[in-house]
Amino acid sequence: MPFAVEAQNLKKFYNGFQAVAGVNFRINRGECFGILGPNGAGKTTLVEMIYCFLPVSEGRLTVLGDNVVEEPRSIKKRLGVVPQENNLDLELTVRENLLVYASYYDISKPVARERADQLLHFFGLSSKANQEVDRISGGMKRRLTIARGLIHTPEILILDEPTTGLDPQSRRMIWEHLRQLKKRGLTLVLTTHYMDEAGQLCDNLIIMNRGEILEEGSPSDLIRRQVGEKVIEAEVNPSKREHLLDNLSALTCETQVSGDTVYIFIPEDETAVVDLLKNNRELDTYRVRPSTLEDVFLKLTGRGLDYADAEEFAGREYQAL
């Protein structure tokens, strides 16, 4: 059986700018595959090529065994798409959104009605079926967009940042729905810049930055391989940082500096490092915690995932002043 998705040396250029820089990856059927990276990493470009929206510039991309260049229509019949921006049909009701979308897939009206009702029930939207789309909450719109992507019972569901902009409760609800869909054997491909989301949902993932894949594997493998089980965050005054880093490198620890914080990735036994930190008077505070994917990303790129966002945010705050 062919892979759900297979990319070989896949590239995408926009007027000379390279958004995807020759990536190779494979997505197995039935898995939840994550594409992680900060804003501008090329995640959306990548999935838009998978669902045959953007033409491939170079390389080879197959979905369920078919080449995206040759068979876009038959590929699109077997894919469900949940784009980053909700693009629900605002002139239609909740239920009509599903029914009209079903018509694009040649689904007969009785079958469409039955599936629409099942999906509305599954996503807890039955009571809103006849409401105008504009009048339901953001979380509901998101769930409706996912329901719409499932109306033709696709083999792969592509979700571009499915929970961006949602409150924690809505996010958890969507995660729960996605887990249930995976249990039923649906292949999920999701992009996200939330590490907890990827850690919760994905079997395998790739970490992207500036159009390139930096690492790939399962979340636990990546953490073990890249940063070890635990991380120490130490707050230290920049003027005294060098001395600490010298001492740490003597213990063969890998470190990463971000602002006033030094992240210390501990290979196996933390006692030697903790002893060093305890006896260090230059240190303000430190804490030991289990490592996460965020640490993997920080180590790989030398910056936090939200770096681009943070910069933008600081700009906005400054303007507010």
Partner 1 sequence: MPMLKSLQAENTRPSNKIITSYKSVNRWAIKVFSRNLVVFKKNWATTILFNIVEPLLYLAALGAGLGIIVADIEGMSYIQFIAPGIVAMSAMWSAAAECSYDSFVRMHFQKIYHAIVATPVSLEEVVVGELLYGTFKSLLSGTVIMAVIAALGLVLSPWALLVPIVLILNGLVFSQIAMIWTGLVPKIDSFAYFFTLVVTPIFLFSGVFFPLDVMPELVRQLAWLLPLYHVVVLTRSLTIGLVSFELIYHALWLVVFILIIFPFPQALMRRRLIK
SS3 270: coil
Q: How far apart (Å, rounded) are the C-alpha atoms in residues 208 and 215?
A: 8
Q: How far apart (Å, rounded) are the C-alpha atoms in residues 89 and 105?
A: 16
In the complex, the smallest distance separating the C-beta of residue 60 from partner 1, rounded to whole angstroms, is: 6
- Nearest 5°: CA angle at 261, between 259 and 263? 125
Q: How far apart (Å, rounded) are the C-alpha atoms in residues 206 and 145?
A: 25
| Residue 96 vs 229, nearer CB to partner 1 | 96
| Residue 17 vs 318, nearer CB to partner 1 | 17
| Residue 125 vs 253, nearer CB to partner 1 | 125
In the complex, the smallest distance separating the C-beta of residue 14 from partner 1, rounded to whole angstroms, is: 5
| Residue 56 vs 236, nearer CB to partner 1 | 56
| Residue 73 vs 183, nearer CB to partner 1 | 73
In the complex, the smallest distance separating the C-beta of residue 319 from partner 1, rounded to whole angstroms, is: 23
**Strands of the 17-27 sheet, one edge to the other:** 17-27, 5-14, 58-63, 66-67
In the complex, the smallest distance separating the C-beta of residue 63 from partner 1, rounded to whole angstroms, is: 13
Where do contacts with partner 1 occur on this chain (CB under 8 A)? Answer: 14-15, 51, 53-56, 59-60, 67, 69-70, 72-74, 76-77, 79, 81, 83, 85, 87-92, 96, 100-101, 103-106
In the complex, the smallest distance separating the C-beta of residue 20 from partner 1, rounded to whole angstroms, is: 13
Three-class DSSP labels, 15-41: CCEEEEEEEEEEECCCCEEEEECCCCC
In the complex, the smallest distance separating the C-beta of residue 48 from partner 1, rounded to whole angstroms, is: 9
| Beta-bridge partners for 158 | 81, 189
Q: Are 287 and 233 in contact (CB under 8 A)?
A: yes
| Residue 105 vs 307, nearer CB to partner 1 | 105
| Residue 70 vs 268, nearer CB to partner 1 | 70
| Residue 82 vs 140, nearer CB to partner 1 | 82
**Strands of the 204-209 sheet, one edge to the other:** 79-82, 156-160, 187-192, 32-36, 204-209, 212-217
| Residue 88 vs 198, nearer CB to partner 1 | 88
Q: How far apart (Å, rounded) are the C-alpha atoms in residues 321 and 311?
A: 16
In the complex, the smallest distance separating the C-beta of residue 170 from partner 1, rounded to whole angstroms, is: 21
In the complex, the smallest distance separating the C-beta of residue 182 from partner 1, rounded to whole angstroms, is: 21
| Beta-bridge partners for 191 | 35, 160
Strand pairing class (66-67; 58-63)? antiparallel
CA distances from 20 to 42, 70, 319 (A): 6, 21, 33
Nearest 5°: phi and psi at 160?
-95, 105
In the complex, the smallest distance separating the C-beta of residue 122 from partner 1, rounded to whole angstroms, is: 20
CA dihedral 270, 272, 273, 277 (to 10 degrees): 130
